[in-house]
Amino acid sequence: MAKKIRLAGIAYESLVNGPGMRRVFFSQGCRHNCIGCFNPDTHSFTGGEEKDMDELIQDVLDNPILKGVTFSGGDPFERAEEFAYMAKKFKENNLSVWSFTGYTIEYLLEEIDNRKGFRDLLENIDVLIDGKFEKMLSRKGLKFRGSSNQRIINVQETLRLGKIILMEEYM
């Protein structure tokens, strides 16, 4: 049986959603409704299109110029089980995995064992950009994020050390 995920879209080759050439998967569904959101068409949980995850994974692995993948949205943590499945396959193939979320890392860690897929997804993400987009905190020149309240977090070090470790080189 095919493993499916509902996506709003895919950017096949992107240089703006993390370092190096990346494939970006835009999750369909978001509860945050940030004012000024870049992707308001991703908010509905019934929009977008169902895609076969194994086909998406293989297509990434078949492209030698890709250095990693980024999960954007919508909010990938609303489809944590599906994105965790994909993240694990990408990590097994030495690709970097970045994810955006409107949730804070504190919330994700608090709910890590209460929400399906949260633990598996966090354990297979290298970098997380957390927090809602805040239009009043948006400014030109922010690297990899929309507003200055959002943090760029080294997820594996955060999990290992039990405290939030920022990726200072990108802040």
The predicted-structure confidence for 82-108, as pLDDT tens digits, reads as follows 999 999 999 999 999 999 999 999 999
Model pTM?
Answer: 0.94
Of 96 and 142, the structure prediction assigns the larger pLDDT to 96
* Residue 124 reports pLDDT greater than 80: yes
Give the model's confidence band at 139: pLDDT under 50 very low, under 70 low, under 90 confident, else very high: confident
pLDDT (0 to 100) of residue 1: 58
Give the total number of structural domains in the chain. 1
Q: Is residue 3 left, alpha or beta, with left meaning phi > 0 and alpha meaning psi from -120 to 50?
A: beta
Work out the average pLDDT over 119-143.
94
CB atoms within 10 A of CB 165: 15
Give the model's confidence band at 19: pLDDT under 50 very low, under 70 low, under 90 confident, else very high: very high
Q: What is the CATH number of the domain that holds 11?
A: 3.20.20.70
Highest mean pLDDT among 89-98, 137-146, 161-170 belongs to 89-98
Work out the average pLDDT over 122-142.
94
Give the model's confidence band at 133: pLDDT under 50 very low, under 70 low, under 90 confident, else very high: very high
Per the structure, the complete domain to which residue 101 belongs is given by 4-170
* Residue 170 reports pLDDT greater than 80: no
If you average pLDDT over every residue of the chain, what do you get?
94
* Residue 171 reports pLDDT greater than 70: no
pLDDT in tens, 36-91: 887 888 999 999 999 999 999 999 999 999 999 999 999 999 999 999 999 999 99
